[in-house]
Amino acid sequence: MNNKTQTIALPSMLSFERKMEPSDGLMFAGNWDEKNQEAKWSSIPIVKRQNRSTQSAYGIDDIKKTAPNPVSSDSDDANLPIDKDTLKVSFSLRVVGSLGAPFACNKPDFADVIQAKVKEFKASDEIDDLAFRYAYNIANGRFLWRNRVGAEEVEIQITVHGEETPLTFNAYDFSLKDFEKNKENEKLATLTAAIKKGLVGDEENNFAFMNVNAFVKLGNGQHVFPSQEMNTVEKKKKLFHLDGCAAMHNVKIGNAIRTVDTWYGTQMMIKAEGKGKTETVDVDIRLPIAAEPYGSVTQHGRAYRPSKNDFYTLMKSWINEVDIEADQRKYVVANLIRGGVFGGDSEA
């Protein structure tokens, strides 16, 4: 293709449907030695805590420093009962096909090319690496977030649709820092194949479905950490629940599963003095981040994929026959799996 005369522009209207759909994660309490006795597990309620604490915010008036902090009072909390030592988090995951087909696109030439590119990708072994990383993030219990920290034991059980025997993993056999530890695990290969089957499917009934149960031995009466709701009305902590059962948001679970990007290069954008500046990433510490169009990690104030290494630049290069590395193709497809509205004003 002659890029100077036949450049395909990014559409002003463009969206892709999410291809990995986790449910919300319900949280239950029980004991470690009763993991497979369903009747022994009970839902964890959200309770109110009436606390008094000191002021700690920077820059408050001196007189307020002597008063209790009203933000910390009347907040939600969740714990294991005093006679239970283990948290159980349960969710389902659906992986659907037709990957690469835009849900909305006002440039037919772009739609044709991106589907052709993704079809080639699905026929290569590059899709295997993506499916492997998603499987790895389930096996290592990354989706447990803070609930995983300091646990004595963490066991993950995944039952793939159509199979009777669950795949069982010791989460500590797998790393949160990379995808190398125990990567040859046979059960992990089986889970990878199930996820790949869903991603490469093109028929409406060709999908993968699985139920995930995570058992986390924390200790009797210990804190558990449901998702926290965004509360713009009152300055009080509100925790997510479903019909009174503590739970984790499906988005939070999904973000953990798609924490696959270690291909983000050596430059990152940070906010400093009210504006952005570019700094060099320590290449010896390339921790996985969630696949995002700009590699944004908002809790750290960083964007690991500034201009020229972002999703839009790489996707535009790919569809216009400009060579991009295999790892960057994986990153682009990971964003298509993520889904979202990607349209803009680009016509060049």
As a whole number of angstroms, the distance between CA 335 and CA 330 comes to 9
Taking only the tens place, the pLDDT of each residue in 240-268 is: 999 999 999 999 999 999 999 999 988 88
Structural tokens at position 253? 């679970």
Structural tokens at position 234? 């009152």
Beta bridge partners of 259: 290
As a whole number of angstroms, the distance between CA 27 and CA 227 comes to 11
Taking only the tens place, the pLDDT of each residue in 178-219 is: 999 999 999 999 999 999 999 999 866 678 999 999 999 999
Taking only the tens place, the pLDDT of each residue in 90-140 is: 999 999 999 999 999 999 999 999 999 999 999 999 999 999 999 999 999
How do the domains of the chain map onto residue ranges?
11-54+67-259
In the 3-class helix/strand/coil scheme, how is 34-98 assigned residue by residue? HCCCHHHCEECECEEECCCCCCCCCCCCHHHHHCCCHHHCCEEECECCCCCCEEEEEEEEEEECC
As a whole number of angstroms, the distance between CA 348 and CA 338 comes to 25
Supply the mean pLDDT for the chain.
Answer: 91
Taking only the tens place, the pLDDT of each residue in 7-41 is: 898 999 999 999 999 999 999 999 999 999 999 99
pTM of the entire structure? Answer: 0.92
